[in-house]
Amino acid sequence: MAQKVVALEKIHDVAEFDCGELTLNTWLRATAMQHQKNGTSKTFVLIDEVAPRRVLGFFSMAIRTMTKVEDLPPELQQRLPRQIPGFTLARLGVSVQMQGQKIGAFLLLEAMERAYRASQNIGGFALFVDAKDGVAAFYEHFGFTPMPSDPDMLVMPMAAMPKFPDIAFG
């Protein structure tokens, strides 16, 4: 089973996707493609090359509005401007058939790598996560820190991410 992450396209069968969370299912089915078309977010899906229409999991990312440095956890506020740029991991879901196979961790690391690579090209201090339905502990396990004002909003500075190897071209 050769799996890969690709940008969401019309060929992907989002209507059949079920991660067990109605709000995530509804968002993927009704909103993800619209947001992708107008540029407000980008959704990536995990597929199997044998059945490329079937969505095994997904995540959505966007540029984050500037965050006030005083809103960050105190240990992250040192030597930063008053407002910092970043990226948001807005949604992440794994189909119920694929849960328990570490696909959520794989998709999270994929999102982290994409944010890290973008920050290397255009800047960006951190990746923020808007955790839904009490899954903040999942992100904390990977090193994200809860924001003081909202424990379901978490942050990881790019400097704290795993080092993703550079790809040499040519």
Active-site residue, from 17, 27, 87, 139: 139
Listed range (28-37, 38-47, 60-69, 160-169) with the worst mean pLDDT = 160-169
Q: Work out how many domains the chain is built from and give that number.
A: 1
Task: Classify residue 88: in a domain, yes or no.
Answer: yes
Task: Classify residue 155: in a domain, yes or no.
Answer: yes
Task: Classify residue 142: in a domain, yes or no.
Answer: yes
What is the dihedral angle through the alpha carbons of 76, 111, 133, 139, rounded to the nearest 10 degrees? -50
Strands in 8-102 per DSSP E:
42-48, 57-68, 83-94
Task: Classify residue 165: in a domain, yes or no.
Answer: no
Enclosing domain of residue 40: 3-160
Q: What are phi and psi of 41, to 5 degrees?
A: -160, 170
Task: Classify residue 169: in a domain, yes or no.
Answer: no
What is the C-alpha separation between 19 and 153, in angstroms, rounded? 21
Task: Classify residue 170: in a domain, yes or no.
Answer: no
| pLDDT tens-digit series, residues 96-129 | 999 999 999 999 999 999 999 999 999 999 999 9
- Please indicate whether residue 139 is annotated as part of the active site: yes
**Secondary structure letter of residue 28 according to DSSP:** H
| pLDDT tens-digit series, residues 72-86 | 888 888 888 888 999
Task: Classify residue 168: in a domain, yes or no.
Answer: no
Q: What is the pLDDT of residue 166?
A: 57
Which CATH number is 17's domain given?
3.40.630.30
User: Average pLDDT over the chain, rounded to whole?
Assistant: 91
